[in-house]
Structure 1
Amino acid sequence: MSSSVHVAVVGGGLAGATAAREVATRLPDAVVTVYESTDHAGGKLAGAEVGGVTVDVGAESMLNRRPEAVALAREVGLGERLVHPEPVSAALWTRSALRSLPPSVMGVPSSMAALADSRVLSRAGLVRARADLPVPTPSDDVSVASYVGRRLGREVVDVLVEPLLGGVYAGHANELSVQAAAPAIWALHKRGSRIAHAAAEQTAAASPGLPPVFAGLDGGLWQLPREVLSHPSIVVRTRSTVREIAAGADGRWRLVVGPANAAERVDADAVVLATPAAPTARLLAPSVPIAARVLREIDYASMAIVTLAVRRDQIASDLSGSGFLVPPVEGRSIKAATFSSNKWGWLGSRAGDLVVMRASLGRAGEEHVLQRDDSELVATAVADLGDAIGLSGPLVDAHVQRWGGGLPQYTVGHLARVAQIDEAVAGTPGLAVCGAAYGGVGIPAVIASGRAAALQIIDHLESSRRREAE
């Protein structure tokens, strides 16, 4: 471009980091400033030292069969650190025992024989699942519970679907949209009206040479946003809350940054909002009220991750798997546990004689579970792990990471809401939004969202340059 441009990215999580890097890479004369309200960038990819080893205390794995995340890791020089989980199985803590997690498509069983062998369902529940009723596909969006329950029965929802959804969204199947929150389940209708049969067909049709489902980084995923932001044209400003944005008559944007008593006014040629729905709605209210109104309809769930380091002889069970999920109907406080030093070879090697594990707590509407201090959350996790795997004795180390309002809830009608937001924002030149609130909460989806926002901004800036040249 004829002179340097300034692009402001509000929010330093992975979506914002991706958008910033895309703009900085594609527009060599651009200066990109990332404004992050907390004391560090990276969002929910964060690390902390537990038992003498730095581990992920946020997301610890990313989809490997979708290209965006592993491609970005390679792009920023982390390709040699890409690793895959160890080939160990997961379990389900249900009916007073740890039982093998049967193969499924997001909880829809893909093998009735394996489902029966796992004994995760009651006899009546298994009979109902085997019926696999051919219910017509709804014309409108419905909840995951409604879609699966009518076909396979409520017990499949409660025991299999709920814990998997809880791990991704910390939400509830009665409220989450089947089209937005469980697109893999929704896609089964294309194979026929019996979804368990469709899941079995899909599994059988899968190529045996497919790459591993998940990937991580040797040393932890927390490294990814740090490297993404390490670009010479990107300036990261932490503890910098953007209070207002407004479009000027000259086509530029005015930002108000910092506390009210020491506010700084910043000009930018374009703005990317990579913040959660509530702050994005607040910033958009003056300039894009329609998008702001719809954004306020997106709720969030809070959760916490308790990471523990213990001696191996403190565990009565044989920890041969990667961890277990917990159906909400079991009435436990933890919703999942991961035996991280089993799951990741690099961590097992660095932990030495210690076992590093983590438990997640909290679902939508269960804020009371998290209204305990850190020591109480640790004690709660230890109590459940004591019942599940026989954990006992004093801990070597523990860490609590709280993610308040961390996970957007893709409730019924979410895709229609996102379409309204996109349409409203698209009509505002020099503005784009991105993040987990829109088209997916997984790491590849968030990266794709950030990249798409950057491309919108680049197209706007290049169009402006062409108009100026005419």
Structure 2
Amino acid sequence: MTERRAVVIGAGISGLTAAYEYLRLRPGSSVTVYEASDRVGGLLKSSTLGGAVESADVGAEASLYLRPETRGLAEDLGLEAVYPSREHSSQLFVGGRMQAMPKGTLMGVPGDPRALKGILSSEQIARAEDEQLTPAGSGDVSIGDFVAARLGEAVVDTVLDPLIGGVYSGRCRDLSMQATVPALLDAYRTGASVLETVRTTLAARTAAAGANVPGTQEKAAPPVFMTLRGGISVLVSALADEVRSCGGQIVTSARAVSAQRGDDGWRVLFADGGQALADDVIIAVPAYAAAEILRAAAPQAAQLLADVPYASCAVITAVIDLAEPLSGSGFLIPPTENRFIKASTYASNKWPWLDAVLPDGRAVVRMSVGRYGDAPDAWAQLDDAELASRAWDDWLSITGRNDIAAHLEVQRWQDSLPQFTPGHFDRVADIDRATSETPGLALVGNVYEGVGLPACISRAQNEIHRIGEKG
């Protein structure tokens, strides 16, 4: 194929995958990845945790196993997938107590509300059993509003919000059903029973297909999640190495501010006054940054991108000296509990590879804070030391333990997670239509098809093939 010049803006998993796929599709082409920060990886980042380990994740920590994209990319790069322990499961912290994660649900939406015994009161369960059918609708709808109308407020506030909202650092009433639990769209659009739809869906998928919440499936089922030794962030370093070995270049601390289309191709302008010329431009940055870059070349798409809301969050990682062994893989907390942290993962219980590199009596625990719509003074204005201290104190209070934190580390993720509000996929389709006739332009990232790694990888691969067919 004809050699071409490509500029990739953004060196997260989407940008690096796009560069890798471009070089595979067009060997010998000139590909340069420009990254505004001083490192590659985006939302994937590793740390030594104060010297406790060689590498561990302080950002995203896993990928869905059942989707093939991450597995396939890891295999291409010679990386071996590893899986969570089946000896530990997650819990819900409700009413000041730990409760087992409910079985027989679709991301927390029950087929039989009695599965929520101990989590909801008998009155709340009775309300869920007495499903209130609503008129058939069209298009998309808030998953929280719809389930609340059908099964009651408590199902949403206590069960769905920590499970579904946690994926986006969001709140269920702000999130799209089509993006979060698309299996319920039929119930919304036809007026059918949610309870019956969940039962039918679970029966068709079975636990082996990963329909249930992680931690509730049978031990013989395939894993729901995967990672790599050293953490899932190993994937980006391996990708970056492969891009360079195939002749691509990666330039950090280079913030693109505009991409302009002319008769001779693309001209990308940078904050420092520099510029780069290209036949193809792949934009792999958050929607608000992509909007700035595209304002001249694709104003309609830029406006749609600028309207996507984002949530901020932070991960606090503790290396702890255990007073006694930890049980379980962590817990989720509904917003109704009014705690400082929203979730905790017992990382060294969850991931056997991590446990194996720690000395006896030590563990790694992750805590997270931040939901879409948080008040500015909820946590973001705290300095790292106070943020870590408050998270750790809350964790000790919730668990009733008296472990010692040998190391506490804060990783902030500012405006990092797009909120897939109702109608989000229609807006993405509008963005794609607005840019489809612009030669040599591809948009990739977690705002388009999903925030998980498989969706990001799939989008990047497909977009490179799409512009390759036109180029």
Mark yes or no: TM-score above 0.5: yes
CA distance in 2, matches of 1:170, 1:332: 15
Match of 1:303 in 2: 313
CA distance in 1, matches of 2:286, 2:389: 31
Alignment partner of 1:342 out of 340, 344, 349 = 349
Q: How far is the alpha carbon of 1:204 from its aligned partner?
A: 2.9
Question: 2:258·2:296 contact (CA, 8 Å) conserved in 1?
Answer: no
Question: 2:388·2:408 contact (CA, 8 Å) conserved in 1?
Answer: yes
- Of the structure 1 ranges 42-51 and 269-278, higher mean CA displacement relative to structure 2 is found in 42-51
Match of 1:423 in 2: 433
Match of 2:217 in 1: none
Alignment partner of 1:432 out of 416, 426, 442 = 442
Match of 2:414 in 1: 404
CA distance in 2, matches of 1:207, 1:123: 28
Q: Which amino acid aligns with 2:365?
A: M
Match of 2:215 in 1: none
Match of 1:227 in 2: 238
1:159-238 alignment runs, 5 A limit = 159-186=158-185, 193-207=192-206, 210=209, 211-229=222-240, 230-231=242-243, 232-238=246-252
Match of 1:240 in 2: 254
Q: How far is the alpha carbon of 1:203 from its aligned partner?
A: 2.2
Q: How far is the alpha carbon of 1:258 from its aligned partner?
A: 4.1
- Tell me, what secondary structure is at the counterpart of 2:174? coil
Question: 2:331·2:343 contact (CA, 8 Å) conserved in 1?
Answer: yes
Structure 1: any 5+ residue segments left out of the alignment?
462-470
CA distance in 2, matches of 1:15, 1:321: 32
Question: 1:106·1:184 contact (CA, 8 Å) conserved in 2?
Answer: no
CA distance in 2, matches of 1:200, 1:323: 27
Q: How far is the alpha carbon of 1:456 from its aligned partner?
A: 2.1
TM-score by length of 1: 0.92
CA distance in 2, matches of 1:458, 1:178: 33
Q: How far is the alpha carbon of 1:197 from its aligned partner?
A: 2.8
Q: Which amino acid aligns with 1:381?
A: A
Match of 2:127 in 1: 128
1:250-289 alignment runs, 5 A limit = 250=264, 252-259=265-272, 263-289=273-299
1:429-468 alignment runs, 5 A limit = 429-461=439-471
Q: How far is the alpha carbon of 1:181 from its aligned partner?
A: 3.4
- Tell me, what secondary structure is at the counterpart of 1:395? strand
1:7-406 alignment runs, 5 A limit = 7-50=6-49, 52-53=52-53, 54-78=55-79, 80-103=80-103, 104-116=105-117, 119-186=118-185, 193-207=192-206, 210=209, 211-229=222-240, 230-231=242-243, 232-250=246-264, 252-259=265-272, 263-313=273-323, 319-352=326-359, 353-366=361-374, 367-368=376-377, 369-392=379-402, 394-406=404-416
- Of the structure 1 ranges 401-410 and 163-172, higher mean CA displacement relative to structure 2 is found in 163-172
- Of the structure 1 ranges 8-17 and 186-195, higher mean CA displacement relative to structure 2 is found in 186-195
CA distance in 2, matches of 1:228, 1:188: 42
Q: How far is the alpha carbon of 1:189 from its aligned partner?
A: 5.8
Using a 3 Å threshold, how does the CA distance of structure 1 residues 81 and 143 change in structure 2: closer, same or farther? closer
Question: 2:63·2:227 contact (CA, 8 Å) conserved in 1?
Answer: yes
CA distance in 1, matches of 2:413, 2:183: 26
CA distance in 1, matches of 2:187, 2:233: 34
Q: How far is the alpha carbon of 1:87 from its aligned partner?
A: 3.8
Question: 2:342·2:369 contact (CA, 8 Å) conserved in 1?
Answer: yes
Superposition CA RMSD, Å = 1.8
- Tell me, what secondary structure is at the counterpart of 1:7? strand
Q: Which amino acid aligns with 1:16?
A: G
Aligned length: 450
1:120-167, Cα deviation, whole Å (9 max, x unpaired): 112211111112333344213221111111111100000011011232
Match of 1:466 in 2: none
Q: How far is the alpha carbon of 1:185 from its aligned partner?
A: 4.0
- Tell me, what secondary structure is at the counterpart of 2:405? coil
CA distance in 2, matches of 1:413, 1:392: 46
- Tell me, what secondary structure is at the counterpart of 2:172? coil
Using a 3 Å threshold, how does the CA distance of structure 1 residues 7 and 66 change in structure 2: closer, same or farther? same
- Tell me, what secondary structure is at the counterpart of 2:357? helix
Question: 1:247·1:254 contact (CA, 8 Å) conserved in 2?
Answer: yes
Q: How far is the alpha carbon of 1:321 from its aligned partner?
A: 0.9
Using a 3 Å threshold, how does the CA distance of structure 1 residues 330 and 413 change in structure 2: closer, same or farther? same
CA distance in 1, matches of 2:187, 2:348: 35
CA distance in 2, matches of 1:436, 1:385: 30
- Of the structure 1 ranges 18-27 and 179-188, higher mean CA displacement relative to structure 2 is found in 179-188
- Tell me, what secondary structure is at the counterpart of 1:355? strand
CA distance in 1, matches of 2:165, 2:384: 22
CA distance in 2, matches of 1:76, 1:190: 43
Q: Which amino acid aligns with 1:49?
A: T
Q: Which amino acid aligns with 2:413?
A: W
CA distance in 1, matches of 2:402, 2:184: 39
Q: How far is the alpha carbon of 1:319 from its aligned partner?
A: 2.6
CA distance in 2, matches of 1:322, 1:411: 30
1:222-247, Cα deviation, whole Å (9 max, x unpaired): 10111122232221111111122111
CA distance in 2, matches of 1:245, 1:15: 18
Q: How far is the alpha carbon of 1:220 from its aligned partner?
A: 0.4
Question: 1:86·1:345 contact (CA, 8 Å) conserved in 2?
Answer: no
% identical equivalent positions:
38
CA distance in 1, matches of 2:202, 2:182: 16
CA distance in 2, matches of 1:326, 1:187: 29
Question: 1:434·1:453 contact (CA, 8 Å) conserved in 2?
Answer: yes
CA distance in 2, matches of 1:321, 1:392: 17
